[in-house]
Amino acid sequence: MKIRKPNTGTTRSVAFTLVEMLLVLVILSTLAAIVYPNLTKQSLRGRITATKAQIEAFRSALAQFEMDNDRFPSGRNGLIELVQRPRDARNWHGPYLDKRLPPKDPWGNDYIYVCPGSHNPALYDLSSMGPDGIAGTDDDITNWEPEK
């Protein structure tokens, strides 16, 4: 790029030096290092909130199923009974969920449903394995633990 100096009639070539370019890259990298983790935390919080909302939707559907059939869906595959009529259901008025199959959690894993539950023996246990995809770890989202 050529710049003409006013009133002198001379021109000189102006360009960014390597040091200036490196300085700009360092500044952009620093900004990215500050902003990216915050965006990631927001995404994680959104997924956790969506999982809690889905567990609440399951609670409503399970309560409705129980009112109609005098029992909760049984076994580990009980959530399927919310969308497909079980053989032994006397008064099934489903599907109790909008989707054909129970949805997966935001990390692509199946929700874990056990009835009767070990944490809620009179009801059921319902959980998501959370971000790490491993059951029984601290990041699990459950219906039996208080909110974290």
Q: Where are the domains of the chain?
A: 17-142
Lookup: tokens for 67: 């009112």
For residues 20-48, average pLDDT = 77
Contacts of 87 (CB under 8 A, 6+ apart): none
Task: Answer yes or no: is pLDDT of 49 > 70.
Answer: yes
Tell me the C-alpha distance between 42 and 72, whole Å.
35
What proportions of the chain, in percent to the nearest 5, are helix, strand and coil? 40, 10, 50
Q: What is the mean pLDDT of residues 93-122?
A: 84
Q: In this structure, are residues 113 and 76 in contact, taking their beta carbons and an 8 Å threshold?
A: yes
> What mean pLDDT is predicted for residues 42-67?
87
pLDDT of 53 above 80: yes
Peptide bond into 102 cis (omega under 30): no
Please state whether the peptide bond connecting residue 116 to the residue before it is cis, i.e. omega within 30 degrees of 0.
yes
Q: What pLDDT is attached to residue 9?
A: 59
CATH architecture group of domain 17-142: 2-Layer Sandwich (3.30)
Using 50, 70 and 90 to split pLDDT, how confident is the model at 128? very high
pLDDT for 21: 77
Q: 133 to each of 45, 105, 108, 109, 140, how far by Cα in Å?
A: 16, 10, 9, 7, 8
